[in-house]
């Protein structure tokens, strides 16, 4: 019954932002003895929008006049709307929808908002997570089942050529997590076995088998043993050469450094080789690593693997074992990979991310990120670019200045 609800005033100010605006407004409200029920404030390119919902005093007209006078002194516009009741609670079925684009156009946002509306859901809040090198926008959505929303928006993401991640809005997004990373074409650019094959004169044949394996066309273990056999006789020093030639994915160090500050743990799980992954883990400060070991005898590769192969199933097993070692449930694990042999690992994790992945992997994963910046994954976790750079600045790490926006840029 409306009679049982409190009379309220919604006060909305807009105008040029400067220090003291918010405090001046609340001093005016203080004089009326009202209670604050809700507040939202944003600043866009120096323009402030402040909304305050308060209980209505006995003399609402007097308070309205005082607010108008305050706004005039600040050279701002104000609206005062009378009503009843507190701000409505958000509907059930709450999600975070993170949209990534390079660039992100108005047509992209129109398409995303349209699909959200099609499910009967509401966008309760929008905030920017990053403006470069990609634009990342986080939408707080309620009123739709996250799984249904994910399916609908996955189709739209493909049509618009943007990335859209949908996650349930729950405590797991804020809990301490374990991040499990594939290595080849995920943490590092390229495939280590192909780099070794070049030095063995077997590049073309190994590349052919690798492509089939990553696309899921042939059994991974069979293909790995076939490729490793082609490396027989290669000096073990080639492993050092390949390690020195590796190029990390852009943003890899930033992601590991930032999330470690927040208590995250990291693991590398690779169908590649421990002689490479163990050194990568030590260099990056990664806590765990598991990969295949190449057999070396008298300083040369024998063309064989020592022990069991870390294949598609083995990656999922490793993820679960690392989660147990860290003491976290698998629901709080993030897995990132690009190939078909990562699918079991991605499915086992609470959040499986297909990173610049093959189509079969993008279709099966919880979400996909197709921009070439590994640290963009942090925007999915609610961490903004500004927060990342502020933390780096405190640690004395200099971040390059952002490029100026180019309206002519096209994807």
**Catalytic residue positions, numbered:** 182, 184
- What are the distances in angstroms from CA 83 to CA 6, 60, 376? 9, 11, 42
Q: What angle do CA 13, 14, 17 make, to 5 degrees?
A: 110
The residues that bridge with 181 in the sheet, in sequence order, are: 268, 336
Q: How far apart are CA 35 and CA 293, in angstroms?
A: 66
Which of 81, 142, 147 lies closest to 116 in space, CA to CA?
A: 142
Provide the b/e sequence for 165-199 (b: ≥16 CB within 10 Å): bbbbbeeebeeebbbbbbbbbbbbeebbbbbbbeb
In sequence order, the 6+-apart residues with CB closer than 8 A to the CB of 28 are 66, 67, 70
Is residue 272 within 8 A of residue 197, CB to CB? The reply is no
- Number of Cβ atoms within 10 Å of the Cβ of 62: 12
Q: Can you read off the two tokens belonging to residue 326?
A: 């860290």
């Amino acid at each position: 019954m409306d009679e049982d609800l409190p009379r309220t005033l919604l006060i909305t100010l807009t105008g040029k932002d400067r220090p003291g605006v918010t405090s001046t407004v609340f001093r005016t409200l203080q004089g009326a003895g009202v209670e604050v029920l809700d507040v939202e404030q944003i600043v866009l390119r120096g323009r402030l929008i402040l909304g305050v919902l308060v209980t209505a005093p006995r003399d609402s007209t007097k308070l309205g006049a005082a607010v108008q006078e305050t706004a005039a002194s600040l050279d701002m516009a104000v609206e005062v709307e009378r009503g009843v009741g507190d701000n409505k609670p958000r509907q059930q079925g709450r999600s975070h929808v993170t949209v990534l684009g390079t660039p992100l156009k108005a047509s992209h946002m129109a398409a995303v908002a349209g699909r959200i509306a099609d499910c009967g859901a509401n966008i309760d809040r929008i905030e920017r997570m990053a403006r470069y090198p990609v634009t990342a926008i986080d939408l707080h959505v309620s009123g739709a089942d996250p799984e249904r929303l994910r399916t609908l928006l996955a189709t739209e993401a493909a049509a618009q050529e943007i990335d859209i991640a949908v996650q349930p809005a729950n405590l797991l997004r804020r809990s301490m997590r374990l991040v499990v990373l594939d290595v080849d074409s995920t943490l590092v650019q390229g495939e280590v076995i192909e780099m070794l094959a070049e030095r063995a004169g077997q590049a073309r044949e190994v590349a052919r088998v690798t492509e089939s394996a990553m696309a899921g066309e042939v059994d991974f273990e069979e293909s790995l043993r076939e490729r490793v056999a082609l490396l027989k006789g290669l000096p073990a020093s080639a492993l050092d050469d390949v390690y020195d030639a590796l190029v990390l994915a852009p943003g890899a160090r930033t992601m590991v450094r930032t999330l470690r500050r927040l208590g995250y743990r990291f693991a590398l799980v690779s169908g590649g080789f421990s002689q490479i992954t163990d050194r990568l883990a030590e260099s990056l400060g990664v806590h765990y690593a598991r990969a295949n070991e190449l057999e070396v005898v008298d300083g040369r590769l024998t063309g064989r693997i020592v022990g069991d192969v870390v294949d598609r199933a083995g990656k999922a097993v490793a993820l679960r074992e690392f989660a147990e070692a860290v003491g976290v449930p698998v629901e709080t694990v993030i897995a990132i990979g690009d190939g078909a042999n990562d699918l079991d690992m991605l499915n086992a994790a609470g959040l499986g991310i297909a990173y610049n992945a093959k189509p079969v992997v993008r279709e099966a994963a919880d979400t996909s990120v197709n921009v070439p910046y590994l640290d963009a994954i942090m925007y999915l976790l609610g961490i903004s670019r500004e927060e990342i750079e502020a933390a780096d600045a405190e640690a004395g790490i200099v971040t390059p200045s952002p490029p100026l926006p180019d309206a002519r840029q096209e994807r």
